[in-house]
Amino acid sequence: MKVLVLGGDGFCGWPCAVNLADAGHDVVVVDNLSRRKIDIDLEVESLTPITSIGERLRAWEQVGGKAMRFVHLDIAREYDRLLELLRSERPDTVVHFAEQRAAPYSMKSSATKRYTVDNNVNGTHNLLAAIVESGLDVHIVHLGTMGVYGYGSHRGATIPEGYLTVEVPQADGSRFTEKILHPTDPGSVYHMTKTLDQLLFYYYNKNDSIRVTDLHQGIVWGTNTTLTDRDPRLTNRFDYDGDYGTVLNRFLMQAAIGYPLTVHGTGGQTRAFIHIRDSVRCVQLALENPPTSGEKVKIFNQMTESHQVGQLAQKVADLTGAEIRYQANPRKEAIENDLIVDNRCFIELGLNPTTLDDGLLAEVVDVARRWADRCDRSRIPCLSAWTTRQAEAIRTHA
C-alpha cells in the first residue's frame, strides 16, 4: 500500500513508519519537525541521542529497509501543499500522528493552549477537507487517546470501543435504544483537542463517507522496536522531562539514575498502557484491516493493560530498589479511579499483548542507564500546573 505517515518523525510515528516500510508498504514520512523545535524551546533533549530525519532515512536504507521519502510540511498551516501531496502521491492510507501530544505542555500557558488547539484541530480538519477536495478514497488511521473517555466517571462500567448503547426515554414512557459516540470527558486542553478530532471524524464520515479508524491509544512505554534497534542512527526518542515524559518511562528512567520516583497525588490514578512494539503492530493491523466504504468510524481501544500509578511505582521500586516520593499533583483530576477497558478489536485481529512482566521494564532501565549522563535532572519535575490552585500546591510542597 502507499502510506503517508503524518508525524512520522515522532516517538510513535518513527518506529511505525519503519515497521510499515519493513512490511513492504511504500511509505512517505511527512513532518514539520515541530517536536524537535519544542525540545529546543524547552531546552531539553531526548534521553537517547536521535539523529536528524535525513540521517535516519539514510540509515534505514543502508541497513536493508525499503527506502522511505520525507516531506517537510505543516499539515495545520499548509493546506494547499497537503492537498497537492495527496493528489500527487494518491495514498491508500494516511496514518495521522501529527499533533501536539503532551497534556502538561498544553497546560503550560495560554500560548501553549492556543498552539495545541490551532495545531491539532486545524491539522485534522485540513486532512479531512483535503481528502474530500482530492476526491480520493483514502483510509485515515488516526492516533487518538484513551483520555477522551475521561477518568473517574465510569463507576465500574467497562469502557466500550468508542460507542455506547443508550436507552432514550420518550414522552409516552416508552424507550428507544441508540448507539452513540461514548461521551467525552477530557482532562486537559490536549485531551480536549482529541475529543474535537472525534467529532470531525464523525461528521466527515457521515457527510462524505471518509473511511476512518480512530485508535484510542493508552500511554506508550518502552522506546525501541527490533527494527529501530538495528542501527544506532535509527534510535527512537525517549522523553523524560516534566512536559513530554510519560509516566512509566519516567519512573524507569528515574530509577536508572537514582532519582526518587515522582508519584503525583496519592498515586491512585489508573491509566491504560501499551508498549511501543504493540503500538506499532496495532497501527499495521488497523491499516491492513480498513473499514469498508460506508462503514461508520471504526474505534479501537489501543491498550493492553491498566495499572494504578502508585502500584506501577511500587513495581519499579521492587525491581530496582528506587525510592518513591509522593508530590503535589499538578493536574486537576480524580484522586483515584478505576478503568476497565474493552480491547477485543485488536485481540481478535491477532494482537498478542506485550505485558509489563516480560522483562521489558528492565530493558528500558538499561537504556536509561546507558544514557544517564544526558539527563538534566532539573527538567524532571512537572511544573506545568492545571490551575493556579495546583500551581500553588506545587510551590508549597517543593
Give 321-380 as a DSSP string.
---EEEE--SS---SB---EE--HHHHHTT-----TTTTHHHHHHHHHHHTGGG--GGG-
Site residues for ligand NAD, window 73-92 (CB under 6 A)? 74-76
Q: Tell whether residue 15 is a contact of ligand NAD (CB under 6 A).
A: no
Among 219, 272, 287, 356, binds ligand NAD (CB under 6 A): 219
Stretch that binds ligand NAD, among 96-104, 176-184, 280-288, 372-380 (CB under 6 A): 96-104
Q: Tell whether residue 56 is a contact of ligand NAD (CB under 6 A).
A: no
What track of x and - describes contact with ligand NAD for positions 34 through 53 (by CB under 6 A)? xx------------------
Give 277-317 as a DSSP string.
HHHHHHHHHHHHSPPPTTPPPEEEEE-SEEEEHHHHHHHHH
Among 15, 91, 123, 187, binds ligand NAD (CB under 6 A): 123
Q: What is the DSSP letter of 47?
A: S
Q: Tell whether residue 19 is a contact of ligand NAD (CB under 6 A).
A: no
CB 306 within 8 A of CB 340: yes
Q: Tell whether residue 115 is a contact of ligand NAD (CB under 6 A).
A: no
Sequence-ordered list of residues with C-beta below 8 angstroms from that of 154, at least 6 positions apart, any chain: 337, 338, 339, 340
CA dihedral angle for residue 362, residue 365, residue 369, residue 372, rounded to 10 degrees: 180
Residue with cell 498478542: 352
Closest chain position to ligand NAD (CB): 10
> Which one, 53 or 317, has the nearer CB to ligand NAD?
53
Site residues for ligand NAD, window 229-248 (CB under 6 A)? 246
| Count of residues in contact with ligand NAD, rule CB under 6 A | 26
Q: Tell whether residue 204 is a contact of ligand NAD (CB under 6 A).
A: no
Closest by CA position to 259, among listed 269, 247, 250:
250
Residues classed as catalytic: 145, 190, 194
> Which one, 9 or 278, has the nearer CB to ligand NAD?
9
Task: List beta partners, residue 218.
Answer: none
Q: How far apart are CA 134 and CA 233, in angstroms?
A: 36
* Binding-site ranges for ligand NAD (CB under 6 A): 7, 9-13, 31-35, 74-76, 97-99, 101, 119, 123, 143, 145, 217, 219-220, 246
